[in-house]
Chain A
Amino acid sequence: MLTQDRASDVFQRIKRYSAAADEVEVLFYATHNALTRFANNTIHQNVAEENVVVSVRTAFGQRTARATTNKLDDESLKRVVQASEALAKVQQPDPDLLPMPDAGEGARATQTNRYFEQTAAITPEQRAEIVRKIVSIAERHKLTTAGIVSNSEFVEGIFNSRGLADWHTQTSSEISITMLAADSSGWQKANSPNVANLDAVHLAETAARKALESAGPREIPAGKYIVILEPAAVLDMVGFMFYDFGGQAVLDQRSFLNNRVGTQVFGKNVNIWDDVAHPLQSGAPFDGEGVRRQKVQLVENGVVKRLVYARATAEKMKQSEHKDKVGPIAPTGHGFPLPNEMGEAPMNIVFGTAADPKTTDQMIASTERGVLVTRLWYIREVDPYEKILTGMTRDGTFYIEDGKIRYGVRNFRFNEGLMHMLSNVEEMGTPVRASGEESFDMVVPAMKVKEFNFTEVTKF
């Protein structure tokens, strides 16, 4: 795996090759990934990958561009520098481009340990053994199973010619399991930097129980229901709104928060932070320019309090017509690598814990008539300003009556506004680290939502 010392040596070589540029920045990404995939109770795909990526940004006055390679020999490094310089030199000056940040802007107080040797050291045999346990649970229940067991280690580093240098190492492990019966299915997924936090047997048993309990799904009519969304379903929905919390999105007038910052957008029980240092979070503590990621409260008691900013976006916002309507304006360490069109986004979302958190069982028990949703699928934005999303339920959808799960139901299509949904949360669970397929991982609770809008029913 690429070390910080070797990356520093590569950076020094690149600096020499880019002597003509006013400034140079180099991003490093290195990965060792392995993933064992199973279906029909068989390991059918099993892969491993090693790669190192070096991405060079040069700046000539107000002009900048990026070039990327995965080769670290001198010839390749010279070529990538030349490519970056050639792209930068032909551009018109960008008045909004700032000098690269210095070491002071990248400084941070603590480094959260997100590297676990036992995760990095997992062998193909150990992954196969975990799969064997999952398959044995499927066979015991007369089900078939599909899913993945994966582990990886990766590094992310940044160096620039103004003396900023930072480095982040991390491991990741993930288990995702689908259990399939003749006409039903169940699903569970979890990931963590530390494999010791994953319980494959518990995940497999839960997925199996969902498949068995939803067998013979009945069709109930589409309409507005009280819906209990498990954490993965919540994250896949709410993930669609966080790109709109970037200052650039508001400047571009493509955010649903245009003219809404400072107003009651969600229910008073909704509080949301971006906090990379949260113990259940993951990722590097610096952004695409190397600026320290700050903890930011985005939503307080349902009111959108502030946005996040890359350095240049903050400067632009201060000069804009929006400056008095968007709360505090300052760089927050959420920028993407430059140059880019998107600006920034909060990527370490943590929902606040409700005053009186409920377990999912308690939410079910207090529901007279409703639907329990395990997982959502193929979510897309129908309306960008009203933030209406469409998508499907999947892998474990149940009808609740008189406080009990009664039977599995055919899957629904929903068309639901996010502002509407987060204004109608009756109960919440304790936030957990959740992982889905439509959005990035985050720390979210299960939610009981009233008047959730199912518009159609599918065939299974």
Chain B
Amino acid sequence: MQDAASWALNIAALRGASYADARLADDRSRALSTKNGKVGSASDSESLGIGVRVIADGAWGFAASDDLSRTAVEATAARAVEIANSSARVKQHDIHLAPEKPATAEWTTPIKIDPFTTSVEQNLDLLLKIDSELRSVNGVTLAETNLNFRREEQCFASSEGADIHQTKYTTGVGYAAYAFAGSEIQKRSYPCSYGGQWQNKGYELIHELKLVENARRIGEEAVALLKADQCPEGVFNVILEGSQLGLQIHESVGHPIELDRVLGMEANFAGTSFLTLDKLRTLRYGSDLVNFVADARQEHGPGLGTFAFDEEGVPAQCIPIVTHGLFTGYLSSRETAHTIGLNRSGGTLRAEGWNRLPIIRMTNVSILPDEKPLTCEQLISGTDHGIYMETNRSWSIDDKRYNFQFGCELGWEIKNGKRVRMLKNPSYSGITTEFWNSMDAICSRDEWVLWGIPHCGKGQPQQVMGTGHGASPARFAKIKVGSAYRGT
């Protein structure tokens, strides 16, 4: 792999690049799923290639190829320079990168059990056992499970002398029960929806999640929802369970703080951001209890945004995003750091694979738990009247990240500190900063989970990547509830 990187960097320099980096990635994944007692899909895949990124004539070029022969690698590097030269025909200013000391490093996700050493029989047995539990509940009409492993080995070398070798493991698992009757379909998922929980862990994640133990309850809740009352429309105190809060953070904090969006670079597709540069250190993003960090370091946990170096060789960092409610930081790169007065990148440039240009992506954007002990049950018992919502069912936010609406799978009305009735089709909506300023309680560390969102889309061509979001359940005052069904 290192030979190929050297070939690419040499040719890029010879063709006139002022900067170049080469990234080789060897990606292996396994995807297994079941549906109603049968294997739904069973597939292994591998992908190996090189991506070469250059600056020539003050502009960017990128080329990627699956062919790692010397001839092809050199042609790919030459193509990247040719593309950069054409980019220079339409530029307003030259690209300048924030300085970064070139690193030589080797890092691997610390895992206990390499998931690829587990047998497929063992994997399928687990999924079919869960499936059987789900379908043992009368009224469950569809049961689905999934199990995913990924190992991504990557070598990064730059013309500045960086030489970084990283190997990242990811495990994801989840299941869902559906109940169809009359004129409605209800669904419950575990540990969360849309593929379940994903972390940078080995097979040990599977052992931690009590998957089989929770399956029957999930099936029963799916069926019970059919007879539950419709979530009322109105203004309520709302308590969000941790995985839903994680998605809320992703959409209404993680995306608006991406500096490329703020600077207009995503205006055609993913959109821009309400967080214009004048808001840094002046905007009250949330209440005093609200503290967000973007933390890619290992000590934050095994999130999908955990690594040692980003994909332009910048070490993982912890960036304070919101501190006691005040907006304090963006996600940045070597190209964009100067726009917010930084002389170093925040280390958030990431790519889906060898064939994609790294762009600013969330790392682990997390809300910090309360330091005072508070369990979810205590939070509920301390609530006079409100609605508890659990597990995402739908999500949508405008292209500047102001107005959002989320639907959840399951709700409970809370009266006098107790869950009094199950509610179906709960939803809530609001404006980002108004919402976070309404947060009046958040549970403590023992309720905090680093959730994984595996399918975040951004960029053109679109790149789908994983992000991490630590969250514990939290309460929000006077939230608009139920407008998803208003007038329909």
Asked if A455 is at the interface (CB within 8 A of a chain B CB), the reply is: yes
- Total CB contacts across the A-B interface at under 8 A: 288
Say yes or no: A50-B67 contact (C-beta < 8 A), given A37-B460, A69-B45, A91-B42: yes
The reply to whether A380 and B394 contact each other, CB–CB distance below 8 Å, is yes
Interface of B is mostly: mixed
Q: Complex formed: what's the CA distance from A176 to B397 in Å?
A: 21
Residues of A close to B185: CB separation below 8 A: 253-254, 384-385
The reply to whether B61 and A94 contact each other, CB–CB distance below 8 Å, is no
Flag A81-111 by CB within 8 Å of B: 1 or 0 each.
0011011101110101000000000000000
Q: Complex formed: what's the CA distance from A395 to B356 in Å?
A: 27
Q: Complex formed: what's the CA distance from A458 to B120 in Å?
A: 49
Interface of A is mostly: strand
The reply to whether A46 and B35 contact each other, CB–CB distance below 8 Å, is no
Residues of B close to A83: CB separation below 8 A: 44
Residues of A close to B13: CB separation below 8 A: none
CB closest residue in chain A, given B68: A71
Say yes or no: A92-B66 contact (C-beta < 8 A), given A40-B265, A67-B45: no
The reply to whether B63 and A48 contact each other, CB–CB distance below 8 Å, is yes
Asked if A293 is at the interface (CB within 8 A of a chain B CB), the reply is: no
Residues of A close to B427: CB separation below 8 A: 382
Say yes or no: A94-B39 contact (C-beta < 8 A), given A385-B184, A413-B429: yes
The reply to whether A386 and B40 contact each other, CB–CB distance below 8 Å, is no
Residues of A close to B153: CB separation below 8 A: none
Asked if B220 is at the interface (CB within 8 A of a chain A CB), the reply is: no
Residues of A close to B274: CB separation below 8 A: 459
Which of B39, B93, B268, B397 is in CB contact (< 8 Å) with A91?
B39
Say yes or no: A146-B264 contact (C-beta < 8 A), given A46-B87, A252-B35, A456-B429: yes
Shortest distance between the CB of B433 and any CB in chain A (Å) = 10
Q: Complex formed: what's the CA distance from A254 to B180 in Å?
A: 7
Residues of A close to B326: CB separation below 8 A: none
Q: Complex formed: what's the CA distance from A205 to B281 in Å?
A: 39
- Give the interface residue-count category, chain B: 35 or more
The reply to whether B394 and A382 contact each other, CB–CB distance below 8 Å, is yes
Which of B357, B395, B400 is in CB contact (< 8 Å) with A459?
B400
Asked if B92 is at the interface (CB within 8 A of a chain A CB), the reply is: yes
Question: Which of A87, A128, A415 counts the most chain B CB atoms within 10 A?
Answer: A415
The reply to whether B355 and A391 contact each other, CB–CB distance below 8 Å, is no
Which of B65, B91, B142, B271 is in CB contact (< 8 Å) with A43?
B91
Which of B46-54, B96-104, B291-299, B379-387 forms contacts with chain A? B46-54
Which of B16-24, B165-173, B311-319, B401-409 forms contacts with chain A? B401-409
Residues of B close to A65: CB separation below 8 A: 42-43
Asked if B208 is at the interface (CB within 8 A of a chain A CB), the reply is: no
Asked if B203 is at the interface (CB within 8 A of a chain A CB), the reply is: no
The reply to whether A456 and B263 contact each other, CB–CB distance below 8 Å, is no
Asked if B74 is at the interface (CB within 8 A of a chain A CB), the reply is: no
Shortest distance between the CB of B96 and any CB in chain A (Å) = 13
The reply to whether A394 and B398 contact each other, CB–CB distance below 8 Å, is yes
Flag B204-233 by CB within 8 Å of A: 1 or 0 each.
000000000000000000000000000000
Asked if B119 is at the interface (CB within 8 A of a chain A CB), the reply is: yes
Asked if A198 is at the interface (CB within 8 A of a chain B CB), the reply is: no
Q: Complex formed: what's the CA distance from A51 to B89 in Å?
A: 28
The reply to whether B83 and A124 contact each other, CB–CB distance below 8 Å, is yes
The reply to whether A378 and B399 contact each other, CB–CB distance below 8 Å, is yes
Say yes or no: A45-B60 contact (C-beta < 8 A), given A39-B264, A40-B92, A128-B86: yes
Residues of A close to B265: CB separation below 8 A: 39-40, 44-45, 146
Q: Complex formed: what's the CA distance from A144 to B93 in Å?
A: 15
Q: Complex formed: what's the CA distance from A44 to B264 in Å?
A: 11
Say yes or no: A455-B43 contact (C-beta < 8 A), given A51-B66, A148-B460, A253-B185: no
Residues of B close to A320: CB separation below 8 A: none
Residues of A close to B396: CB separation below 8 A: 378-380, 390-392, 413
Q: Complex formed: what's the CA distance from A55 to B46 in Å?
A: 10
Say yes or no: A415-B399 contact (C-beta < 8 A), given A51-B49, A68-B45, A386-B183: no
* Chain B, 180-211, CB within 8 A of any chain A CB: 180, 183-185, 187
The reply to whether A90 and B488 contact each other, CB–CB distance below 8 Å, is no
The reply to whether A132 and B83 contact each other, CB–CB distance below 8 Å, is no
Q: Complex formed: what's the CA distance from A135 to B90 in Å?
A: 8
CB closest residue in chain B, given A174: B460
Q: Complex formed: what's the CA distance from A385 to B425 in Å?
A: 12
The reply to whether B357 and A47 contact each other, CB–CB distance below 8 Å, is yes
Say yes or no: A415-B66 contact (C-beta < 8 A), given A252-B35, A394-B399: no
Asked if A388 is at the interface (CB within 8 A of a chain B CB), the reply is: yes
List 5 A-B pairs, minimum CB-CB distance, nearest first.
A341-B40, A124-B86, A458-B403, A68-B45, A146-B267
Can you offer 29 A-B residue contacts whose CB atoms are under 8 A? A34-B83, A40-B92, A42-B91, A42-B92, A42-B93, A47-B64, A47-B356, A48-B63, A68-B43, A80-B46, A90-B120, A131-B90, A144-B264, A148-B268, A176-B268, A180-B264, A252-B35, A252-B178, A377-B398, A382-B407, A385-B180, A388-B488, A390-B394, A390-B405, A391-B396, A413-B396, A458-B402, A459-B274, A460-B398
On A, residues with C-beta under 8 Å from B are 33-53, 55, 65-71, 80, 83-84, 86-88, 90-92, 94, 96, 123-125, 127-129, 131-132, 135, 144, 146-148, 150, 176-178, 180, 185, 187, 224, 252-254, 258, 339-341, 377-386, 388, 390-392, 394-395, 411, 413, 415-417, 420, 437, 453, 455-460
In addition to A43-B91, A53-B47, A253-B142, 20 A-B residue pairs with Cβ atoms within 8 Å of each other are A39-B266, A41-B90, A44-B87, A45-B62, A47-B357, A51-B355, A68-B47, A70-B46, A80-B46, A91-B124, A96-B38, A124-B82, A253-B141, A382-B485, A384-B187, A411-B398, A413-B405, A437-B269, A455-B429, A460-B402
On B, residues with C-beta under 8 Å from A are 33, 35-36, 38-49, 59-67, 76, 79-80, 82-87, 89-93, 119-121, 124, 141-142, 144, 178, 180, 183-185, 187, 263-269, 271, 274, 355-357, 359, 393-400, 402-403, 405, 407, 425, 427, 429, 431, 460-461, 483-488
